[in-house]
Structures are given as C-alpha cells and as structure tokens.
C-alpha cells in the first residue's frame, strides 16, 4: 500500500515533533539535575517540571490521543 503525499507529510511532521519533544525533555532533565544538585530545597519546582515532562511523554510517545481519535485506519 503506497502512502499519499498527505500521509507522508503527516508522518514527517510527527517525526519532527517527536524529535523536538525528545530534545526538550533532555534539556529539562539536565536543568532538573542542575537545580537538584545546586538548590535541593526547590523540590516543588522540580515536581512541577517532572509533571510537565510526564505530560509530553504521555501525549507524544505513548500516543494516548489515538485512543480517542475518530479516524478509522481500517484495523
């Protein structure tokens, strides 16, 4: 089954989004490490950043949005 240009573009956009999220998660993780090493009393801020990161992991890597989409892919 051949992909249409629309599907190929969508896959490319999804890949780009995944790469950007991966980079963002890496930067945030490094920042969390620095804050944890330098200023341990900032635990609440670290929990907020961890929740932010968890949201992006769930949305972009666990594909939870597909569970609720109306698109039927024929499976």
Per-residue pLDDT reduced to its tens digit, 22-46: 999 999 999 999 998 998 898 898 9
Per-residue confidence (pLDDT) for residue 2, from 0 to 100: 58
Q: What's the number of CA atoms in the CB half-sphere (13 Å) around residue 13?
A: 6
On the question of pLDDT at 71 being above 70, the answer is: no
Q: Mean pLDDT over residues 55-75, rounded? A: 76
Contact 17, 60 (CB under 8 A): yes
* Long-range contacts, 8-11 (Cβ 8 Å, 24+): none
Residue-range domain boundaries for the chain: 11-68
Q: What is the pLDDT of residue 38?
A: 92
pTM for the model stands at 0.71
Q: What angle do CA 30, 33, 35 make, to 5 degrees?
A: 110
pLDDT at residue 5 tops 70: no
* Nearest Cα residue to 10 out of 75, 58, 69: 69
- The pLDDT of residue 73 is 58
């Amino acid at each position: 089954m051949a992909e249409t240009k629309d599907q190929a573009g969508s896959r490319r956009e999804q890949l780009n989004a995944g790469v950007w999220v991966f980079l963002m998660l890496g930067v945030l993780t490094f920042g969390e490490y620095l804050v944890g090493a330098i200023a341990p009393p900032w635990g609440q801020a670290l929990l907020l950043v961890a929740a932010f990161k968890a949201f992006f992991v769930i949305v972009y890597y666990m594909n939870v949005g597909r569970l609720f989409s109306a698109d039927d892919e024929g499976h």
